[in-house]
Structure 1
Amino acid sequence: MLLNFRVSNHRSVREEQELQLHPAYDADRPAGTAWAAVPVAGLFGANAAGKSNLVGALGYMAEMVLNSHRDAEPGDGVSRSVFRLDAAAADEPSWYVVDLLLHGVRYTYGFSVDDERVLDEWLYSYPHGKKRKIFERSEGEVDPGDSQARRELELVENITEPNVLFLTMAARSKQKDFRPVYDWFATGLEFSRSRFRSGLGFAPEAPGPAWDTPGLLALLRSADLGIEEYGTERQVLDEDGLRRLYRGRVPRRELARLAANGPRESVRPWIGHRGRAGVVRMDLHEESAGTKALLEHAPRFLSVLSRGGTFIVDEIDSSLHPLLTTQLIKLFQGPETNPRGAQLVFTSHDASLLGRVDGEDILKRDQVWFVEKDQYGETRLFALSEFKPRSGENHERRYLGGSYGGVPFIDESLAKALATRGEQHGSAT
């Protein structure tokens, strides 16, 4: 479970920004839970405010943990994206820190990097509420904690390049105290990524969405999309099959491949819609953007709920009706549908998610964050709870009214310029 994330000097983030997920209101905790962090956090703000950069910073941290040993060549430095609107930022480090609760134990892990190397790195655990150092790294030197096998970690240190994270190498060397945090980045943290490609709807070689996800059919039926069933079937991609797949016009590369290798088989996902004469099977490319978006997200939502972990979704409302988005969020809010305490962290422009459905807040007071840029283009993150909102307060109306910030400032300069241009054009004629 993610308790806290901090980042500095990453893209539009100049100074330290902190996403704090500890519950702020005991009255808003889901009944029957003792979760140490909120199960949902929504980040709201104007376009280009930095919402995607904040969740992207956590993605960068995960990529470093999992792949720094593969992606970094000796002497090649560290790939990073610093704040560009202040020249001084290029010479300053970027740093990333997470606080996690894993198997009942709290961990703090973080690192800082510049363009050349890892500057600092540290990992602590709190098995009985007391800080225990697992390792600290500074100026290229690793200092193991007293409980660590120093000789083994010295061997790991010797093979860790300056631009590679020590956590990565130690965890892959089967150092057990390093595994919980590494494994959280590997399997407990997941990011939304599109499976559907433009034009075709899905890749011909791909099996399509995870049809075997438990609960998926019930969710699709409840979404009022007219979907009754779904499945896959194998199809032969000869010339006729390719013509059906590409809707009449077969690309030359496919015809060349067919001539060279002959027909091949592919898995064809289909969706069964309710019609007058029964269920009609339709290809994915025939579905609406909203249905495709739900088919993309729903299996992954359900998978995270079944196993636990933290799911990061950028622009959760993209192509989805607000009520469908609300339904997906609601799945995380209680122990009946979220028995493992999974978390959902998302960004959105949809202010209706700050409202109420059936008399209940979609998002609790400590589950809402706002993102905005200051006059120097620096992203700032702040919580709804900082405004001390009352229970039952209309957060949607107050947000749209500008009470919380995080909304775009739209002046009349464009309209005035167009109006002036129209007047001048009229005078000239």
Structure 2
Amino acid sequence: MLCQFTVKNFKSIRDEMTFDMQATAISEHEDRVIKDKDGELYLPVSAIYGPNGGGKSNVLEALHILAAKVLRPLYATDGNSYHPFQMKKILIEPFAFGAEEKEAPTEFELFFRTKTAEYRYVLTVKKDIVLYERMDRVKLDTGRRSALFERSDEGIELKGVFAKLKISDELSETLTLLSYLGITYRKNEVIKDILNWFGYGIDFLNYGNPIQELRMAIANSDDVKSLVLDMIQEMDLDIVNFRVEEMENERIEVYTKHIVDGYESELNLSDESSGTKKLFELLPFIADGLASGTTLVIDELDAKIHPVLLRHIIMMFNDMEINRHGAQLIFTSHDLSTMNSEVFRRDEIWFVAKGNRQNSKLYSLVEFKNDKGESVRKDAKFDKQYLEGKYGADPYLRKIIDWGKVNA
């Protein structure tokens, strides 16, 4: 589960920016939160809105870059060639519109939870070089806090349960210590717990090879297939079933079963409409995420699906009887049909827009205050006020038009 993510000096993000999945103490939809074993409350959904070019995608990309920086060395050494998304070249670009920022490092801070612990990971990188790194842990059953390691100009210090581990004197300055520990001590339970979250606890949706990924997502899980069929039928399509057939050279073919006026027919997915193909690229990941409790991160989710299905997906994550494993959905969107108090809590709606120096600002609806210092009412017409530019991130303008109290 993702708890909180902070980034500074990355692309359009100049100043420190924090994206928070912790539920705030507000009164709406109190049944739509994830309650962890220690009583802490987290959000199942968050949507980021804002104009094109405002920096929405950069928030998600920063999170992906951090995960890729950790995972890429592990994938390069595990002998498995199929990691195309994570194996893309990592480019950590600082804020471009300031001489001081261009020479400064990029800073990341991440809080995440597994079944047993909450971890805090800090990474400071200049281009490809690691300048600072730290990992801390809180055990959920006891609440005990402990440092695991710290890496700085003064050297590397392994602490707590990592104190007896050994580190090479020739550790590459471009390799994160967390990656090194994952490569060297793969069977260590704490290291495995941490890296399993990076590898499987959070998923950045990739459309690079959708059919191959479809096979991986569906696998042989009846739960995943059942959820996919439920979502397809929510779209009122005449698809009543589908099957995945393994071919030679690990190729697969997907066949959809239709019943029209009592007549049953089967089509190859390649013969379906482009909209249906998009559904089959997306829905297995949504279903698999719900079934396994994954944090799904999707850029421009609304561009890929119909608004009716978008609402249905959001409400599935909000329904704790369906979302039994604490899955989270984080996405950027322009769709206003779902921006209302029936679908979202105020702390689940985020905005990104640019200031006068082309620097992106991120803020949630629950923290927004107008010029009079007034908060947004929970029964307000969120979509209408957004279109009127009352929340600062005007959908038709790239820059902030009115910050109110948010302009820190």
Q: TM bucket by the smaller chain?
A: 0.7 to 0.9
Q: Which runs of 5+ in 2 are unaligned?
A: 78-89, 369-374, 399-408
1:325 aligned partner? 310
Residues 12 and 298 (structure 1 numbering): CA distance in 2 closer, same or farther, change over 3 Å?
same
The CA deviation string for residues 160-184 of structure 1, in whole angstroms up to 9 with x for no partner, is 2111000111133144333322221
The DSSP-based 3-state class of the residue aligned with 1:214 is: helix
The CA deviation string for residues 103-160 of structure 1, in whole angstroms up to 9 with x for no partner, is 242211010011352000000112344541111110161112244334x2xx324352
| Higher radius of gyration, 1 or 2 | 1
The DSSP-based 3-state class of the residue aligned with 2:72 is: helix
1:50 & 1:235 partners in 2: Cα distance?
42
1:349 counterpart (326, 334, 355): 334
Q: Which amino acid aligns with 1:189?
A: I
Residues 189 and 89 (structure 1 numbering): CA distance in 2 closer, same or farther, change over 3 Å?
same
1:169 aligns with 2:180: yes
Q: Which amino acid aligns with 2:159?
A: G
Q: Percent identity?
A: 27
1:80 & 1:319 partners in 2: Cα distance?
27
2:365 aligned partner? 384
1:257 aligned partner? none
1:372 counterpart (320, 341, 353): 353
Q: Which amino acid aligns with 2:349?
A: V
2:9 aligned partner? 9
2:379 & 2:353 partners in 1: Cα distance?
25
- Determine if contact 1:116/1:163 at 8 Å carries over to the other structure: yes
1:281 aligned partner? 266
1:194 counterpart (207, 211, 224): 207
Residues 176 and 66 (structure 1 numbering): CA distance in 2 closer, same or farther, change over 3 Å?
same
Aligned ranges for residues 4-83 of structure 1 at < 5 Å? 4-27=4-27, 28-30=29-31, 34-35=35-36, 36-68=41-73, 79-83=91-95
1:244 aligned partner? none
2:396 & 2:234 partners in 1: Cα distance?
38
- Determine if contact 1:369/1:381 at 8 Å carries over to the other structure: yes
The DSSP-based 3-state class of the residue aligned with 2:317 is: coil
Q: Which amino acid aligns with 1:390?
A: R
1:405 aligned partner? 392
Shift of 1:281: 2.2
Q: Which amino acid aligns with 1:139?
A: D
2:377 & 2:239 partners in 1: Cα distance?
41
The CA deviation string for residues 351-402 of structure 1, in whole angstroms up to 9 with x for no partner, is 222126xxxx111111110011112211110000013322222111111111
Q: Which amino acid aligns with 1:379?
A: S
- Determine if contact 1:3/1:22 at 8 Å carries over to the other structure: yes
Shift of 1:409: 4.2
The DSSP-based 3-state class of the residue aligned with 1:351 is: coil
Shift of 1:234: 6.8
Number of equivalenced pairs: 368
The DSSP-based 3-state class of the residue aligned with 1:56 is: helix
Residues 15 and 322 (structure 1 numbering): CA distance in 2 closer, same or farther, change over 3 Å?
same
1:91 & 1:355 partners in 2: Cα distance?
42
Q: Which amino acid aligns with 2:377?
A: R
1:117 aligns with 2:129: yes
- Determine if contact 2:11/2:94 at 8 Å carries over to the other structure: yes
TM-score scaled by length of structure 1: 0.78
1:143 counterpart (157, 165, 168): 157
1:120 & 1:71 partners in 2: Cα distance?
23
Q: Which amino acid aligns with 2:200?
A: T
- Determine if contact 1:140/1:162 at 8 Å carries over to the other structure: no
The DSSP-based 3-state class of the residue aligned with 1:231 is: strand
Shift of 1:39: 0.7
2:393 & 2:263 partners in 1: Cα distance?
48
Shift of 1:218: 2.7
1:130 & 1:334 partners in 2: Cα distance?
32
1:75 aligned partner? none
The DSSP-based 3-state class of the residue aligned with 1:177 is: helix
2:153 & 2:33 partners in 1: Cα distance?
47
Greater mean alpha carbon deviation, residues 50-59 or residues 127-136? 127-136
Shift of 1:21: 1.3
- Determine if contact 2:33/2:42 at 8 Å carries over to the other structure: no
Residues 183 and 70 (structure 1 numbering): CA distance in 2 closer, same or farther, change over 3 Å?
closer
Q: Which runs of 5+ in 1 are unaligned?
A: 73-77, 237-263, 412-429
- Determine if contact 2:45/2:329 at 8 Å carries over to the other structure: yes
- Determine if contact 1:157/1:166 at 8 Å carries over to the other structure: no
1:192 & 1:179 partners in 2: Cα distance?
23
Residues 208 and 186 (structure 1 numbering): CA distance in 2 closer, same or farther, change over 3 Å?
closer
Task: Output the aligned Cα RMSD.
Answer: 2.9
2:293 & 2:330 partners in 1: Cα distance?
13
1:327 & 1:87 partners in 2: Cα distance?
46
1:58 & 1:165 partners in 2: Cα distance?
16
2:144 & 2:217 partners in 1: Cα distance?
45
Shift of 1:298: 1.1
2:32 & 2:241 partners in 1: Cα distance?
34
The DSSP-based 3-state class of the residue aligned with 2:149 is: strand
Q: Which amino acid aligns with 1:3?
A: C
1:270 & 1:344 partners in 2: Cα distance?
28
2:262 & 2:138 partners in 1: Cα distance?
63
- Determine if contact 2:10/2:95 at 8 Å carries over to the other structure: yes
TM-score scaled by length of structure 2: 0.82
